[in-house]
Amino acid sequence: MYQLQQGVAVVRLDSPPVNSLGHALRQHIYAAVVEAQADAAVLGIVLMGTDKAFSAGADVSEFGKPAQTAFPILLDVVDRIDACTKPVVAAIGGVALGGGLELALSCHARVALSSAKLGLPEVNLGLIPGAGGTQRLPRIVGVAAAHALISSGAPQTAKQLENSGLLHQVLDASADSQGQDALLESACAAALALARSPAALPRARDNQPEAQAVHRFIEAQRAQLTPRQRKLPANLAVLDALAVSAGEFDAGMKTERALFLKLLGSPSAKALRYQFYAEREAVKLPAARQVAPRAVQAVGIVGAGTMGAGIAISVLDAGLRVILLEQDDAALQRGVARVSEHYAGRVLAGKLKATVAADNEARLLATTDWTKLAKVDLVIEAVFEDLAVKQEVFRKMDAHARAGAVLATNTSYLDVDAIADVTSRKQDVLGLHFFSPANVMKLMEVVRGQATSPDVLATGMALGKTLRKVPVQTGNAFGFIGNRIYNAYRKQCEFMLEDGALPEEVDAALEDFGFAMGPFKVADLSGLDIAWRMRKAQAPTRDVRERYVDILDTLCSLGRLGRKSGAGYYTYTNGKPAKATDAVVRQTIEATSQRRHITRQNLSAETIQRRALLAMANKAALLLNEGVAARASDIDVVMVQGYGFARWQGGPVFWAQQQDHDTLVRDLQTLADQSGYGFRVADLAPLLQRA
């Protein structure tokens, strides 16, 4: 069960790929500690992971299965270590996350490579640590530092935590190059030192935080929670668990466990686990398209506006070379300034080292010379959203990019095939739909054209992962996945304005459900004229029988273009919106209802939410049935990552799957009647199949 090295029992944790604490590994650790405790030749014990991971935490695939609760659960393992009369030292390299860090916290000492990453990410799954994290950590580092680590869910390096009291020794950067050998040597030395010391073994349970200070801190944090944060039960449970860390240890452990188990079966935790799996599935191509991607070391970006500059920053941050191309020197210099200002701001804020910023900027070549594109492996067009403009750019890209280079368009709505048609290499063309700001937003829709070759599609997905984004494959259809569903959502919200709701009522109801912003606040922020231009472009082909709400058109004709003009659906003072719409908007809405002979009725928040969600779920089913989305769960990843759908609500597909089937079908037919001609009720069967 272990290797004996000069009186130290070295217990190896080796369960690929990341030492998740599944039942087999828990059994191994528990039995090894019991055996070492009884072995007279053993003076101390070291728990040793791999170079990738001490342990990445719980095996989420066991959630809800018998293995999750089979003895020993993690709580049994940490209790066994805590009670051991021989010193147990955690040797931490790679990652120690969640249950992995809780395992380390139960040890009597922790030694780590400076590059190791430690964290408690349970809140991201709608949970709190359930094996002592909320009780041991504040007793070791203090309640404020413990709260910061637990509530953020974000890991920190051992170097960052060096002075926190969490780690007994952090090996310097030179030891990182020696890796596991240096780590093991230091951990064994620490175990022997503790064994030979006359002092009692250091245990977190023996530390007693000052109760009044803990109480004041917790109440202050509770008061600072935003309404949106309060909607996630885990945020409140973290504070409840930390609050009892100033009391008796075993009682605190019982409270933590009760809170953990309550959250485990909660709707928000189920939704967050669903999203966790959905995001990991989204980045996988179907088996038939799983081929090796083309190598990408240098990326060309045509267009240095806000989007182009944001894409450039993303690519530079990933360590790749960038050639940024513009039509004239003035536009080019504005683009370069955007990039430089971004990095200067990051350095000034202390979020990036000046040397890293300088290295990134050194990999940027700005030019107006199209022949420079011969040096790149992939070119991304990021110009104005106009088909003729993009086609002209692609003709030039086709002429100057080397053979085998991937040609990508950043279009949000346009036909990728129509863009590819103007080139001599349709097989090399695909869509890479970034979301603004491109260097911040995680979502990237990878659009497959009719002729896109499998290795080009694979290259797009691989680039997304290289850029640390969440790439989702989509078919080539107007608006792809995200904008198609958002349009259905927005349209239904506009219908509700005619039917009796006001913009602030719709926004409030949907924000209460969990959307980051209501649709009319989003429209004002984006600029109403953007949608107005698109509506006017589509007007010649719009079926006159379809229900069309012209409230936005009227507001634009009055010069109300949104936040940038000081008025849209809302009025703005110093950039801050009024809480309610003004008389102009109300009169416009009421006049529209009257002109269409609609008797306005009060719509409850529940009605508003349900109509919006039904519209999204119906459109999701249509996209799935049309093959635009490869998986139902991909749709939820898109809506959560790119459109402000609350992560703890799972997404419109997950929401639909939780509804009573007969009620869902009946309500969808009612929605079709309310929406009028052109609303197609989808076959929900494929959408409602749970994985």
Widest distance between CA atoms in the chain: 91
Nearest to 568 by CA among 657, 497, 503: 503
Cβ-based neighbours of 331, under 8 Å, separated by 6 or more:
304, 305
Beta-bridge mates of residue 170: 112
SS3 call for 400: helix
d(CA 46, CA 10): 5
35, 62, 102, 546: the catalytic one is 102
Nearest to 612 by CA among 514, 523, 529, 481: 514
Letter for the amino acid at 624? L
Residue 329 has which token pair?
């020197």
Tokens 């006359």 identify what position? 198
Beta-bridge mates of residue 117: 95, 157
Cis peptide before 519 (omega within 30 of 0): no
Is residue 164 within 8 A of residue 145, CB to CB? The reply is yes
Nearest to 198 by CA among 324, 87, 312: 87
Residue 132 has which token pair?
């002592």
Establish whether 606 is a catalytic residue: no
Distance of CA 116 to the CA centre of its chain: 22
Residue 553 has which token pair?
């058109």
d(CA 289, CA 268): 34
Nearest to 430 by CA among 438, 443, 419, 442: 419
d(CA 575, CA 577): 7
Alpha carbon of 686 to those of 326, 479, 626, 690: distances in Å? Answer: 45, 21, 11, 9
Taking the C-alpha atoms of 486, 489, 495 and 496 in order, what is their torsion angle to the nearest 10 degrees?
A: -130
Helices (H) and strands (E) in the chain, counts: 30, 20
35, 62, 122, 219: the catalytic one is 122
Strands 378-381 and 576-577: unpaired
Cβ-based neighbours of 24, under 8 Å, separated by 6 or more:
15
Q: Let me know if 51 is exposed, middle or buried by CB neighbors in 10 A (0-12, 13-18, 19+).
A: exposed
Establish whether 445 is a catalytic residue: no
Residue 594 has which token pair?
């009257």
Nearest to 434 by CA among 442, 425, 426: 442
Beta-bridge mates of residue 380: 301, 408
Q: Let me know if 340 is exposed, middle or buried by CB neighbors in 10 A (0-12, 13-18, 19+).
A: middle
Rounded to the nearest 10 degrees, the angle between the axes of helix 267-282 and helix 233-243 is: 120
Give catalytic residue positions. 102, 122
